[in-house]
Chains A and B, each alone.
Chain A
Amino acid sequence: MKKIISMTLAAVAAFTALSMAACQKDETKYVATAISGIEVEEYGFAVGKNSTNKTAILAAMNEVISTSDLSSIVAYYTSVAGDETPSVTLDFANLDDNTGGTLNVYTCSGFEPYEFVVSDEVVGVDIYLMELVAEKLNMKLNVTDMDFDGICGKVASEDNAVGAAGITINDDRKQTIDFSNPYYNSVQYIISKESEAFSSLESLAGKKIGVQKGTTGALLVEDAITKGVLKDTGAELVEYDTGAVAYVAMKAGKIDYIVIDELPAQALVKGN
Chain B
Amino acid sequence: MNWYNTLIKDDRWKMYVNGIEETIIISLGAIAFGILLGVIVALIKYVNKKYDRFKIGAKVCDLYLTVFRGTPVYVQLLIMYLVVLVAFPTRTTAIVTFGINSGAYVAEIIRGGLESVDDGQLEAGASLGLTRTQVMLFIILPQGFRRALPALFNEFIALIKETSIVGTIGVVDITKVAERIIARTYEPFTPYLVTAIIYLVIVIVLTQLLKLLEKKLAKGDKNG
Contact of A119 among B11, B81, B193, B201 (CB under 8 A): B11
Min CB gap A169→B, angstroms = 21
Q: Are A8 and B197 in contact (CB under 8 A)?
A: yes
- Tell whether A106 is near chain B: CB-to-CB under 8 Å: yes
Q: Cβ of A15: which chain B residues have Cβ within 8 Å of it?
A: 193, 196-197
From B12, B169, B201, contact of A146 by CB (8 A): B169
* B86 within 8 A of partner (CB): yes
Asked whether any CB of chain B lies closer than 8 Å to the CB of A150, the reply is: yes
B180 within 8 A of A: yes
**Chain A proximity of B147: nearest CB distance (Å):** 27
Tell me which of A36-44, A221-229, A245-253 binds B.
A245-253
Q: Does B57 contact A (CB under 8 A)?
A: no
Q: Which of A16, A118, A248 contacts B186 (CB 8 A)?
A: A248
Contact status A248-B180, CB under 8 Å: no
**B15/A146 in contact, CB under 8 A:** no
| Most A Cβ at <10 Å: residue of B172, B184, B196 | B184
A153 within 8 A of B: yes
Contact of B205 among A4, A110, A117, A153 (CB under 8 A): A4
Identify the closest chain A residue to B168 (Cβ).
Answer: A147
The count of chain B contact residues (Cβ–Cβ below 8 Å) is 38
Q: Let me know if B86 and A158 touch, CB within 8 A.
A: yes
CB-contact partner of A242 in B87, B181, B183, B197, under 8 A: B183
Interface size grouping (class) on chain A: 35 or more
| Cβ contacts B6-42/A at 8 Å (1 or 0 each) | 0000111011001000000000000000000000000
Residues of chain A within 8 A of B200, CB atoms compared: 8, 11
Closest to A142 in B: B89
CB distance B14 to A7 under 8 Å?
Answer: no
The reply to whether B183 and A119 contact each other, CB–CB distance below 8 Å, is no
A109 at the interface (CB under 8 A from B): yes
Q: If A150-B82, A154-B81 touch, does A4 touch B193 (CB 8 Å cutoff)?
A: no
Closest chain B residue, CB of each to CB of A144: B170
Cα distance A19–B187 when bound, in Å? 12
Q: Counting CB contacts under 8 A, is B179 at the interface?
A: yes
- Tell whether, in the assembled complex, residue B11 and residue A16 are in contact, meaning their CB atoms are under 8 Å apart: no
Closest to A145 in B: B170
Residue ID in chain A nearest B180 by CB atoms? A117
Report if A109-B183 is in contact (Cβ < 8 Å); known contacts: A23-B1, A150-B82.
yes
Are A157 and B86 interface neighbours, CB within 8 A?
Answer: yes
Contacting pair B183 A116 (CB below 8 A):
yes
A242 neighbours in B (Cβ, 8 Å): 179, 183
Smallest CB separation, B173 vs chain A (Å): 12
Of residues 51 to 74 in B, which have CB atoms within 8 Å of A's CB atoms?
none
Can you list, as one digit per residue, whether each of A148-162 has a CB less than 8 Å from chain B (1) or not (0)?
001001100111000
A 108-130 to B, binary, CB cutoff 8 A, 1 in contact else 0: 01100000111110000000000
With A15-B193, A117-B180, A145-B180 known, 19 other A-B pairs at CB within 8 A are A8-B200, A8-B201, A11-B197, A11-B200, A15-B197, A16-B1, A19-B189, A117-B15, A118-B10, A120-B18, A144-B170, A145-B170, A147-B168, A153-B82, A154-B82, A244-B186, A245-B182, A248-B182, A248-B187
Q: What 6 A-B pairs come out closest when comparing CB atoms?
A: A146-B170, A244-B183, A110-B183, A144-B170, A120-B15, A117-B180
Taking beta carbons and an 8 Å cutoff, which residues of A are in contact with B? 3-4, 7-8, 11-12, 15-16, 19, 22-23, 106, 109-110, 116-120, 144-147, 150, 153-154, 157-159, 241-242, 244-245, 247-248, 251-252, 268, 271
Which B residues lie at the A interface, using CB under 8 A? 1, 10-12, 14-15, 18, 78, 81-83, 86-87, 90, 167-170, 172, 176, 179-184, 186-189, 193, 196-197, 200-201, 204-205, 208
